[in-house]
């Protein structure tokens, strides 16, 4: 059968022209899509008593984003942050997070919430499947509990149980040396306060079995007046006190406890004290409070950490906070994971994040790792020391050992039924 | 529940002194806020939902004055006088326009100003929390009375609040101005017909209420974190005090505040997880047994 060629443009030529036309017309769209900014949504606390920490979270993020954008962005896409105030309320945090994705078109979430809001945002991330990096919540269960686990959520913050292992062993050594057997606790009444205090006491007693908790106080989060709590502790006459109050709550508590001379009547261990937020705001900072490092530019004592702290101060005219480094780390990890995946796609970044180790000014050995098994940050610098009322505030820090942390954490997970 | 701790405390003079003082401290600050609230309601018949903002402004004014002058007395004066002026302006410009309106309308206007005032504070002083710090004169060891611990600063606080209670009570009960104010509360039309400027009285009462809340904020500033929105939780507790004592009653506000202070202080020992609940439970019991509050008058 012979095929007769019809006059005019052949089908092949027509298809070729259509193809060429499509390429010609589509190219700008493709180019524009590649150049299109990637929006990252960030609910955080920008009002109320802990607004300073929310602001410092934003600053930590923006400091790093400038560097990432200057280097080309995430796989060639410039990052645009969309930051909203959650007022520290879980329902508002969840609403804002959902709106950031659904209305504002954010492709990634930085969940810069305290634990009170982080669990709510976590459920939004579970529902929408969007890549989410929890940057402030330190409640262990958020990533340790397999029931909470979702493949698209990671944590770049400290974890309560890590702090408690180091803090508990540090406190136990002092308890044994000074004979501190009667202890009181005073922590905020929500997930972080309850979990962290429980874990701290577990490790304190593990290393110093004679310790007895004779008084517990659970003031509500953002409580204005601690008088009744202070006098209750005084009545109990403990030899030592543990607290994981933080931010404005901690400074308010210190101001009120100071006038009862509480700090001279017992040894005080306040995990969240050694952060510039509290150190610089409290007017009459008591000497000799034991604290874990939160953010201080002198620990880890490296040039990289000091330079990062100074760069932050130069830009924002104040020192960073614990939440600043945790948020900065999220961006550092995102940038490295995007490079590794050669993509700005959330799923591909998530795959690249699992097990990713990066250089970091905040690392105990100059690096931090996003542990693959539970998608939480490990290897950051943890240490405890005592405060003095002026810089460097905590002159000598005893470093925690990550080998011990890993061993005891594995045991702890087993005891909780998490493995 | 830890009844052993509570009974142990009741049997110990040291504990009784410490916890009673603690109850008075909590109560007296609440009284200063609540008495302004109750006074404004009693005379102007307005539930001033924005009252907590005056407490907040009082604290910020005091902190700022203290930063500039280093004088604790000037800080207290600035807190009280600044909020009195603010109260007067607020009443003349805004609140005077909603007198006689529906309660819902008044509440909405007041709530709008709660948000506006919080934003104003945020714009002027920033969103982060502040700390005024304790003046050097009060950075001294606490007193030990019968073994109980009593900080000197809190004695001053209790004293100022008690003086305010006495001056208010005598001022309203024994002076001519007090009589005019009471008359204006009962029959403003008649007072006006007698040639007395009721607008001045209303403005004055609102300024006085604001001043008392501002004084409470100023007294709290050395021991509490200052933050936009800090007036809200105080307002809620002040409402509870006002309702328990009876809306419009100064004596009721005093007794109600002391009771709430004691409930919080002793409740934290015996019912550590139910201290807040105890406060609300007590309010419910009072309202069920006496709907007008302990010292409230029956409304005809």
**Residues A349-371: tens digit of each pLDDT:** 999 999 999 999 999 999 999 99
Mean pLDDT of A318-344: 97
Averaged confidence pLDDT in chain B: 90
Nearest CA of chain A to the CA of B172: how many Å? Answer: 31
Mean pLDDT lowest among A58-62, A347-351, B92-96: B92-96
pLDDT of residue B146 exceeding 90: no
Please tell me if residue B155 touches chain A, with a CB cutoff of 8 Å: no
Q: Which of B 12-31 lie inside 8 A of A, CB atoms? A: 15, 18-19, 21-22, 25-26, 29
Highest-confidence segment of A138-142, B59-63, B270-274: B59-63
Burial of B282 (0-12, 13-18, 19+ CB in 10 A): middle
Selected residue with higher pLDDT from A268 and A222 = A268
Q: Which of B 118-147 lie inside 8 A of A, CB atoms? A: 118, 122, 127-134, 138-139, 141-142
Mean pLDDT of A276-282: 82
Averaged confidence pLDDT in chain A: 89
Selected residue with higher pLDDT from A245 and B128 = A245
What is the predicted pLDDT for the residue at A258?
Answer: 87
Selected residue with higher pLDDT from A281 and A288 = A288
Mean pLDDT of B215-230: 90
Best mutation target, B17, B33, B72, B131, to test chain A (most A CBs within 10 A): B131
Q: Which of A 275-304 lie inside 8 A of B, CB atoms? A: 281-284
Is the CB of A283 less than 8 angstroms away from the CB of B18? no
Is the CB of A225 less than 8 angstroms away from the CB of B139? no
Contact residues, chain A, for B135 at CB < 8 Å: none
Is the CB of B149 less than 8 angstroms away from the CB of A260? yes
ipTM for the predicted complex: 0.75
- Percentage of chain A exceeding pLDDT 70: 91
Q: Which of B 99-118 lie inside 8 A of A, CB atoms? A: 118
- Residue A30 pLDDT class (50, 70, 90 cuts): very low
pLDDT of residue A1 exceeding 80: no
Nearest CA of chain B to the CA of A50: how many Å? Answer: 7
What is the predicted pLDDT for the residue at B89?
Answer: 96
Best mutation target, B225, B231, B235, to test chain A (most A CBs within 10 A): B225
What is the predicted pLDDT for the residue at A8?
Answer: 46
What is the predicted pLDDT for the residue at A6?
Answer: 44
- Alpha helix positions (H), B187-246: 188-193, 198-220, 231-245
Closest in B9, B129, B220 to A49, CB measured: B129
Best mutation target, A187, A230, A252, to test chain B (most B CBs within 10 A): A252
- Is residue A75 left, alpha or beta, with left meaning phi > 0 and alpha meaning psi from -120 to 50? left
Mean pLDDT of B275-294: 91
- Residue A225 pLDDT class (50, 70, 90 cuts): confident
Burial of B156 (0-12, 13-18, 19+ CB in 10 A): middle
CA dist A273 and A394 (Å) reads 10
pLDDT of residue A29 exceeding 80: no
- Residue B298 pLDDT class (50, 70, 90 cuts): low
Mean pLDDT lowest among A119-133, A404-418, B5-19: B5-19
What is the predicted pLDDT for the residue at A398?
Answer: 94
CA dist A89 and A415 (Å) reads 32
Q: State the DSSP H helix or E strand holding residue A290, giving kind and residue range, or none if neither.
A: strand A290-292
CA dist A329 and B109 (Å) reads 44
What is the predicted pLDDT for the residue at A12?
Answer: 54
Is the CB of B227 less than 8 angstroms away from the CB of A248? yes
- Residue B157 pLDDT class (50, 70, 90 cuts): very high
Is the CB of B234 less than 8 angstroms away from the CB of A232? no
Tell me the sheet residues that pair with A317.
Answer: none
């Amino acid at each position: 059968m012979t095929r007769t060629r019809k006059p005019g443009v052949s089908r092949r030529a027509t298809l070729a022209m259509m193809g060429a036309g499509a390429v010609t017309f589509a190219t700008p769209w493709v180019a524009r899509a590649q150049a299109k900014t990637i929006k990252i949504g960030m609910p955080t606390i920008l009002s109320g008593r802990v607004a300073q920490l929310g602001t410092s979270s934003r600053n930590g993020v923006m400091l790093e984003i400038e560097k990432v954008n200057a280097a080309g962005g995430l796989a060639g896409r410039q990052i645009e942050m969309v930051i909203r105030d959650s007022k520290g309320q879980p329902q508002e945090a969840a609403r804002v997070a959902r709106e950031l994705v659904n209305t504002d078109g954010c492709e990634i979430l930085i969940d810069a919430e305290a634990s009170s809001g982080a669990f709510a945002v976590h459920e939004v991330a579970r529902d929408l499947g969007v890549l989410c990096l929890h940057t402030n919540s330190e409640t262990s269960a958020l990533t340790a509990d397999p029931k909470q686990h979702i493949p698209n959520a990671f944590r770049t913050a400290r974890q309560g149980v890590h702090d408690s292992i180091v803090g508990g062993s540090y406190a136990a050594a002092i308890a044994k040396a000074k004979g501190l057997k009667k202890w009181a606790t005073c922590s905020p009444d929500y997930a972080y306060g309850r979990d962290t205090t429980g874990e701290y006491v577990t490790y304190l007693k593990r290393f110093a079995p004679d310790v007895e908790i004779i008084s517990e106080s659970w003031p509500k989060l953002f409580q204005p007046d601690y008088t009744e709590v202070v006098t209750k502790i005084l009545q109990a006459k403990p030899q030592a006190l543990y607290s994981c109050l933080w931010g404005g709550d901690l400074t308010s508590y210190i101001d009120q406890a100071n006038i009862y001379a509480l700090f001279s009547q017992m040894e005080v261990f306040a995990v969240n004290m050694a952060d510039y937020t509290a150190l610089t705001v409290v007017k009459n900072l008591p000497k000799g409070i034991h604290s874990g490092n939160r953010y201080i530019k002198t620990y880890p004592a490296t040039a990289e950490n000091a330079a990062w702290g100074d760069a932050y101060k130069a830009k924002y005219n104040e020192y960073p906070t614990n939440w600043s480094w945790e948020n900065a780390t999220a961006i550092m990890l995102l940038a490295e994971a995007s490079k590794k995946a050669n993509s700005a796609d959330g799923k591909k970044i998530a795959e690249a994040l699992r097990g990713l180790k990066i250089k970091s000014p905040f690392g105990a050995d100059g690096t931090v790792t996003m542990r693959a098994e539970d998608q939480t940050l490990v290897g950051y610098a943890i240490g405890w020391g005592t405060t003095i009322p002026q810089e460097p505030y905590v002159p000598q820090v005893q470093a925690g050992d990550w080998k011990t942390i890993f061993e005891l954490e594995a045991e702890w997970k087993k005891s909780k039924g998490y493995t | 529940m830890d009844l052993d701790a509570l009974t142990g405390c009741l049997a110990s003079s040291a504990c009784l002194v410490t916890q009673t003082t603690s109850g008075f401290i909590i109560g007296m600050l609440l009284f200063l806020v609540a008495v302004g609230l109750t006074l404004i309601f009693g005379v102007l018949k307005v539930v001033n939902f924005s009252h907590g903002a005056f407490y907040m402004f009082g604290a910020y004014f005091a902190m700022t004055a203290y930063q500039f002058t280093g004088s604790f007395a000037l800080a207290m004066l600035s807190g009280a006088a600044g909020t009195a002026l603010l109260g007067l302006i607020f009443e003349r410009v805004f609140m005077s326009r909603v007198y006689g309106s529906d309660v819902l309308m008044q509440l909405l206007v007041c709530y709008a100003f709660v948000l506006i005032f919080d934003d104003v504070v945020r714009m002027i002083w920033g969103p982060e929390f502040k700390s005024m710090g304790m003046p050097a004169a009060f950075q001294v060891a606490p007193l030990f009375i019968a073994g109980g611990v009593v900080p000197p600063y809190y004695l001053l606080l209790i004293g100022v609040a008690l003086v305010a209670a006495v001056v208010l009570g005598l001022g309203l009960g024994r002076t001519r101005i007090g009589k005019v104010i009471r008359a204006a509360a009962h029959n403003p039309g008649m007072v006006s017909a007698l040639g007395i400027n009721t607008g001045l009285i209303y403005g004055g009462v609102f300024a006085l209420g604001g001043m008392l809340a501002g004084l409470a904020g100023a007294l709290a500033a050395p021991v509490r974190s200052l933050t936009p929105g800090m007036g809200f939780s105080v307002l809620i507790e002040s409402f509870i005090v006002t309702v328990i004592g009876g809306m419009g009653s100064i004596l009721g506000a005093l007794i109600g505040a002391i009771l709430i202070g004691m409930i919080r202080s002793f409740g934290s020992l015996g019912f550590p997880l139910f201290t807040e609940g105890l406060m609300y439970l007590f309010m419910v019991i009072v309202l069920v047994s006496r709907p007008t509050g302990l010292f409230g008058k029956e409304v005809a």
